[in-house]
Structure 1
Amino acid sequence: MTSKRKAPTGILGFPTAPLNESGNIDEKALAINIDYLIREGLSSIFIACGSGEFHAISRLEYQRMVEVAIETTDGRVPVYTGVGGNIKDAIELLRLSEDLGADGYLILPPYLVNGEQEGLYNYYKTIIQTSELNAILYNRDNAIVNLNTLQRLVDQFPQIVALKDGHGDMELNLELVQTIGNRLEWLNGMPFAEITMPAYANIGYSAYSSAMSNYMPHISKMFYDALLEGNEALVSEIYINVLLPINRIRKARKGYAVSLIKAGMEIQGFPVANTVRPPCIPVESGHYQELKKIIVSALEKYPVTSEQTTNL
């Protein structure tokens, strides 16, 4: 891949869609979220994707979120947008992203329908041929491409720079990585990706999307560095003290993969209320207090050093 076609690696930043008291996007809070992720060393910004409530924002809100991301990032890291769902909407959002100056885009699953492999091939083909921007495919839910489909797409479109996996079929992942190799970057997009990253790293996945980085990025980095360096004791310690306790809360309610991020950010003092749009639900009081205890304990065990930035 050329530098232009190089996909983000390392820890990927997925900002939220912070809402104000009126239920509208809080652009100032969004800019703070994005700037914080960049200052904490995350490699890229993925705006208006799953964590950014792509499913629940209007076209105008989408545009403003992308504009805020590009303005705030100011060329420091690449900006990728989320496109997908209705095929016509996906193309329009891609064109808008390109016009606004995004570096690439993540293709989210098509709306509702479970298509055959040929249908998925044509879904991706129709979107990708619209633009020269870098494209990242996303194996998740009703959009799981097999080896043959992925090979056809990457042979035809140099724009495809990576595949993000949120499905968790490790047999399929091994087949894809071993066959296609370094033609693509391989990104772990499982919910709370730190939990599965040891398994993914062992088969060639170079990056992951980190929800926890929105409120404890220094621990995400500490964990990832320990994983890469083979520090099994520290990896296990962070699992026991931080990751597994938070993951138990995440699995307690559907939609917590989104709302738990905002709860963690609010606990850490960010101007982000524990508020999400339906069908997601905010983190309930009991779980909120559990999360707060975990965060307080984690920060006592793994304090932010003087070399690391503060949240605001």
Structure 2
Amino acid sequence: MSLTRKAPKGILGFPVTPMDDEGKIDLDALGANIEFLVENGLKSIFVACGAGELHAISNEEYRAVVEVAVEKTKGKVPLYTGVGGNIAHALEQAKISEELGAEGYLILPPYLIDPSQDGIYHYLKKIIGSTSLNAIVYQRDNCQLELATLEKLCELPQLVGFKDGLGNMELNIEFNHSIGDRLEWINGMPLAEVTMAAYVNIGYASYSSAISNYIPHISAKYFDALLKGDDQVVHELYEDVIFPIHRIRKQKKGYAVSLIKAGMQIIGLPVTTAVRAPIAPVEEAHYQELKSIITKALAKYPAKAEVKN
């Protein structure tokens, strides 16, 4: 395990946690999901995070998920896990991650409580300091940091990254200006390809990609065009793929997870559309709409994946 204090860069892979029709975790399908991402050039793997339904899995299941991820990523790409929610559970997850050989973890928000800045600080500090692993904080929901809080957390050597899922660009500019390259800046907004053009201009060089779970070559094509300033390709990908998928995603809460599983099933990966409550599965009409978008996208932007009949 590397203890290099450096966060992953580029397009970050966030696998789902596949489940069978009875709601049990399918570890073989998880392994296939991770292999697919690694083979298609994702720069790192983050398991059991938001897309991986961390909120809905037990710590026993969490251990099994991390074990598979360690096996599939070892020697290939950095592996990060998700920890968070209940502080006791988060600390146990951090220890499991360290024991099994992950490189670091992404800290998701605490449950329910809308904490003060000192409360957020102590929550994050306790988790960050509980192991020697690298840590990335995730700004979203009820974990919203002020500059002074983030600067104080930067005193901890384990902290290597900041992921934004809030979208407050004024605050993001202030953070990046004040803290600079002390942290890796990661765009974690819903369907990050939609906003990455704005984030790149304020120093964000990495993002988590939901659509990379089923059309990773399109994520790569988009990001490459964005960095090269190829506005025509960026425009076409927005029109053909990114905005159409984003419009479906906005139709129903929970599609941040279930729409990914639908896309994976559509291209033939061994994943069902099963999710755990309170997330609801994709509605049939939206599934067919997504299938049409993917079919057209693969015809115009070919890849190895084929739409499942």
Aligned-pair CA distance for 1:129: 1.4
**How far apart, CA to CA, are the structure 2 residues paired with 1:123 and 1:295?**
41
SS of residue in 2 equivalent to 1:109: coil
Q: What per-residue deviation string (whole Å, max 9, x for no partner) do you get for residues 91-134 of structure 1?
A: 11101110011100000001110111111111111111111100
Letter in 1 for 2:92: E
Aligned-pair CA distance for 1:21: 2.6
Q: What's the counterpart of residue 185 of structure 1? A: 184
Q: What's the counterpart of residue 83 of structure 2? A: 83
Taking a change above 3 Å as real, the CA distance of residues 104 and 128 of structure 1, as seen in their structure-2 partners, is same
Letter in 2 for 1:276: V
Q: What's the counterpart of residue 212 of structure 1? A: 211
Query: More deviation in 17-26 or 46-55?
Result: 17-26
Query: More deviation in 230-239 or 21-30?
Result: 21-30
Q: Give the conservation status (yes or no) of the 8 Å contact 1:270–1:311.
A: no
**How far apart, CA to CA, are the structure 1 residues paired with 2:307 and 2:286?**
22
Taking a change above 3 Å as real, the CA distance of residues 85 and 71 of structure 1, as seen in their structure-2 partners, is same
SS of residue in 1 equivalent to 2:72: helix
Q: Give the conservation status (yes or no) of the 8 Å contact 1:40–1:309.
A: no
Q: What's the counterpart of residue 228 of structure 1? A: 227
Q: Give the conservation status (yes or no) of the 8 Å contact 1:140–1:165.
A: yes
Q: What per-residue deviation string (whole Å, max 9, x for no partner) do you get for residues 228-270 of structure 1?
A: 0000111011000100000000000010010000000000001
**How far apart, CA to CA, are the structure 1 residues paired with 2:170 and 2:141?**
17
**How far apart, CA to CA, are the structure 2 residues paired with 1:129 and 1:284?**
42
- Is 2:161 aligned against 1:162? yes
**How far apart, CA to CA, are the structure 2 residues paired with 1:54 and 1:89?**
11
Q: What's the counterpart of residue 138 of structure 1? A: 138
Q: What per-residue deviation string (whole Å, max 9, x for no partner) do you get for residues 132-173 of structure 1?
A: 10000010000011110000110x201100000000000000
Q: What's the counterpart of residue 102 of structure 2? A: 102
Q: What's the counterpart of residue 297 of structure 2? A: 298
Aligned-pair CA distance for 1:311: 10
- Is 2:289 aligned against 1:286? no
SS of residue in 1 equivalent to 2:84: strand
Aligned-pair CA distance for 1:310: 7.9
Q: What's the counterpart of residue 59 of structure 2? A: 59
How many pairs does the alignment contain? 307
**How far apart, CA to CA, are the structure 2 residues paired with 1:143 and 1:22?**
33
Q: Percent identity?
A: 59
SS of residue in 2 equivalent to 1:274: coil
Letter in 1 for 2:27: E
Aligned-pair CA distance for 1:88: 1.2
**How far apart, CA to CA, are the structure 1 residues paired with 2:138 and 2:8?**
14
Letter in 1 for 2:275: V
**How far apart, CA to CA, are the structure 2 residues paired with 1:311 and 1:241?**
17
Q: Give the conservation status (yes or no) of the 8 Å contact 2:59–2:89.
A: no
Letter in 1 for 2:75: G
Q: What's the counterpart of residue 115 of structure 1? A: 115
Taking a change above 3 Å as real, the CA distance of residues 51 and 194 of structure 1, as seen in their structure-2 partners, is same
Letter in 2 for 1:40: N
Q: What per-residue deviation string (whole Å, max 9, x for no partner) do you get for residues 52-103 of structure 1?
A: 0001111111110000000111221111010111111111110111001110
SS of residue in 2 equivalent to 1:204: coil
SS of residue in 1 equivalent to 2:108: strand
**How far apart, CA to CA, are the structure 1 residues paired with 2:58 and 2:206?**
29
SS of residue in 2 equivalent to 1:110: coil
Q: Give the conservation status (yes or no) of the 8 Å contact 2:3–2:103.
A: no
SS of residue in 1 equivalent to 2:131: coil
**How far apart, CA to CA, are the structure 2 residues paired with 1:9 and 1:292?**
30
Q: What's the counterpart of residue 265 of structure 1? A: 264
**How far apart, CA to CA, are the structure 1 residues paired with 2:117 and 2:68?**
36
**How far apart, CA to CA, are the structure 1 residues paired with 2:101 and 2:127?**
17
**How far apart, CA to CA, are the structure 1 residues paired with 2:32 and 2:4?**
28
Q: What's the counterpart of residue 248 of structure 2? A: 249
SS of residue in 2 equivalent to 1:66: helix
Aligned-pair CA distance for 1:22: 2.4
